[in-house]
Structure 1
């Protein structure tokens, strides 16, 4: 790692340590999805760490995807509350940068980088799930703009976000993948309703979004009309290829390692050592994906591989902690029991969000088939 990346890593670590020491947050599992604090995101923006890879002309930092990986890794290690800016920084900003018009870039990227605009994802639907080619939300031409009608579900932080990314059907074609288009939608627009979905722990970060003839200006189309399938497939590389698919349970892994540090049974040490070795391998894949992005590639299959392996790893962190320590999960407690409870409650979503395991394995298998032809 270069000196500038080492310096950046230390800066991010110092910031997270200061906020934690001041009692501004407590490390949690799944912090990138559940830990929402707009003031923390504003602090990140002041340091230039949101949109760090984007061109400076759009408010970005002009740095590499490896630099962004360093930032995200340190935030995930700390279990910091990053959900307010995570989606926009991770994939909506890069999608706008890759496919958006210069006007769309100027309108949104600087405000995302300043944490003045926050995004949620309008992809999944009740009848579609991870099969995005089955979405039924529609967008119809209306003069110089569009009208969107339909519903999206499992939308994290829609009740706190200023805007939504929405994948909608704008036409037909020979294949069901045809006729999809990506939009930016203002959640304050008339016709938008956000309904809460409360999880098993009683927390509210999921939502259902209803769109009833919602007006959207034409300039808020991302990329080409009807080319949404190709674009969203590449965009999912940003979503699936990050370390949040590997390190959501890192605070629990860290607490587990500390709990067995002294006088531990050899079997416990071996189990934790195996997890540490697997984590090192998964980090290497994430670094390779970041290098691919820096080279201008969209590593769709490599990202799917990381997400699939990360799903398995994160689930096994939780199972190992439960088996090795015998701790009783306690959602209202502190330390390892609380982190274990968080990991258990989050685990069912690991194999669904960002694409089900079956979808990911299909992508991986198709890639292998292409190699042997």
Structure 2
């Protein structure tokens, strides 16, 4: 199996790695830390990618892209995740907010929202999960009640990564009730600067910005804020979640850290127990498995045939890889603590990876829900 995707992809990887080495500090652990300078690093790097036509490569030229293949965009995705996502929160706008607006937005919404995303100038957050409607998203209670020529939205969201820094929110709310709870849901595109929106950060071991509560107190929205058709937001959400789940290429980060372990430990690598080195090798194999599943979903997306079960299979593999590789890497660091500057870098990277991995089987839909989606898909095909 050739994982390189050809000479053009290899050259693109080299270009991206060169830009990361030149413009991103070696000790960068992502944009979402206590240090505002880390966010600024990501914002500058994101604008740099946009200027070079590398941020939204697969977008049509009319929307600020290069009409590149979806596989070139996959290369960008992998290199960004492998190097601590120096685009910051932009992957959300690039991977699924922008494409969803292209498919379901009005001409006015496309003109308003797509250029700032393509330039790397705007951050979006996702107003989906609620205290009693996380994995069972269709049970959400945030409601939009009719008011003149629009609606007033009231309710609470939780988790809501990047809400403290986002300028816009992709908000799901209930506008009516039908026979099924998936009916009557509507998507609104709303500015986070509206005074009817309050954000309360939730401290967690992943660091700031990852978890937030967001409260809506009679937020005024109109037809111009609706994405798609009123009451049919669930169809769009199913599509969105499939794009979001494959867009998080954590397998690339796992593989980079696993491959860095022998060099970081140097001569001490041979002192590790054979059983631990065997598990390390198994994790590298699992990285390739997750990568292959991701490529399958990317291929299906390019053909317009993706189903929830396809993305669920990938998500199960990559979230388990995230946690299991983090445990192996932590054991390696504990058994033979790496020394020197390279060792200090490796320890910091592994510890950050472990903290983030603890939430991976819950984020973007719990692993239990992914198994249910996959099971339903397999039963429907049998």
TM-score past 0.5 threshold: yes
Residue in 2 that maps onto 1:308: 316
Q: Secondary structure at the match of 1:209?
A: strand
- The superposition leaves residues 184-222 of structure 1 with CA deviations (integer Å, 9 ceiling, x where unpaired) of 110111311111111136534321111111122322211
Q: Report the Cα offset of residue 116 of structure 1.
A: 2.1
Query: CA 1:202 to 1:9, structure 2 compared with 1: closer, same or farther past 3 Å?
Result: closer
Corresponding residue to 1:108 among 99, 108, 113: 113
**1:2 maps onto 2:6 in alignment:** yes
**1:345 maps onto 2:349 in alignment:** no
Partners of 1:329 and 1:338 within 8 A in 2: no
Q: Secondary structure at the match of 1:334?
A: helix
Equivalent positions of 1:152-167 (< 5 A) are 152-167=157-172
Partners of 1:260 and 1:268 within 8 A in 2: no
- The superposition leaves residues 19-59 of structure 1 with CA deviations (integer Å, 9 ceiling, x where unpaired) of 23xx3x5243xx48767421121112112223322211112
Equivalent positions of 1:324-339 (< 5 A) are 324-326=332-334, 334-339=344-349
In the alignment, the residues of structure 2 paired with residue 131 and residue 313 of structure 1 have an alpha-carbon distance, to the nearest angstrom, of 24
Q: Report the Cα offset of residue 344 of structure 1.
A: 2.6
**1:291 maps onto 2:308 in alignment:** no
Residue in 1 that maps onto 2:373: 363
**1:18 maps onto 2:26 in alignment:** no
Q: Report the Cα offset of residue 84 of structure 1.
A: 2.9
Q: Secondary structure at the match of 2:132?
A: coil
> Which has the higher mean CA deviation after the structures are superposed, 74-83 or 157-166?
74-83
Partners of 1:257 and 1:272 within 8 A in 2: no
Query: CA 1:67 to 1:143, structure 2 compared with 1: closer, same or farther past 3 Å?
Result: farther
Partners of 2:265 and 2:336 within 8 A in 1: no
> Which has the higher mean CA deviation after the structures are superposed, 254-263 or 54-63?
254-263
Partners of 1:88 and 1:112 within 8 A in 2: yes
Query: CA 1:93 to 1:202, structure 2 compared with 1: closer, same or farther past 3 Å?
Result: closer
Q: Report the Cα offset of residue 145 of structure 1.
A: 3.1
Residue in 2 that maps onto 1:197: 202
Partners of 1:329 and 1:340 within 8 A in 2: no
Partners of 2:32 and 2:208 within 8 A in 1: no
Unpaired stretches in structure 1, ≥5 consecutive residues: none
In the alignment, the residues of structure 2 paired with residue 150 and residue 274 of structure 1 have an alpha-carbon distance, to the nearest angstrom, of 45
Query: CA 1:96 to 1:257, structure 2 compared with 1: closer, same or farther past 3 Å?
Result: farther
Corresponding residue to 2:261 among 234, 245, 256: 256
Question: Which consecutive aligned stretches of 4+ in structure 1 deviate over 6 angstroms post-superposition?
Answer: 32-35
Q: Secondary structure at the match of 1:326?
A: helix
**1:41 maps onto 2:66 in alignment:** no
Number of residue equivalences: 365
- The superposition leaves residues 2-27 of structure 1 with CA deviations (integer Å, 9 ceiling, x where unpaired) of 3332322222111112123xx3x524
> Which has the higher mean CA deviation after the structures are superposed, 273-282 or 176-185?
273-282
- The superposition leaves residues 132-170 of structure 1 with CA deviations (integer Å, 9 ceiling, x where unpaired) of 111111123333333221111111111111101111001
Residue in 1 that maps onto 2:231: 226
- The superposition leaves residues 91-143 of structure 1 with CA deviations (integer Å, 9 ceiling, x where unpaired) of 11121112112221121111111122210111100111121111111123333
Q: Which has the higher contact order (CA 8 A, sep 6+)?
A: 1
In the alignment, the residues of structure 2 paired with residue 245 and residue 255 of structure 1 have an alpha-carbon distance, to the nearest angstrom, of 16
Residue in 2 that maps onto 1:150: 155
Corresponding residue to 1:271 among 253, 261, 279: 279
In the alignment, the residues of structure 2 paired with residue 87 and residue 11 of structure 1 have an alpha-carbon distance, to the nearest angstrom, of 22
Residue in 1 that maps onto 2:331: 323
Q: Report the Cα offset of residue 252 of structure 1.
A: 3.4
In the alignment, the residues of structure 2 paired with residue 102 and residue 197 of structure 1 have an alpha-carbon distance, to the nearest angstrom, of 37
Unpaired stretches in structure 2, ≥5 consecutive residues: none
In the alignment, the residues of structure 2 paired with residue 76 and residue 256 of structure 1 have an alpha-carbon distance, to the nearest angstrom, of 18
> Which has the higher mean CA deviation after the structures are superposed, 284-293 or 175-184?
284-293
Equivalent positions of 1:80-91 (< 5 A) are 80-91=85-96
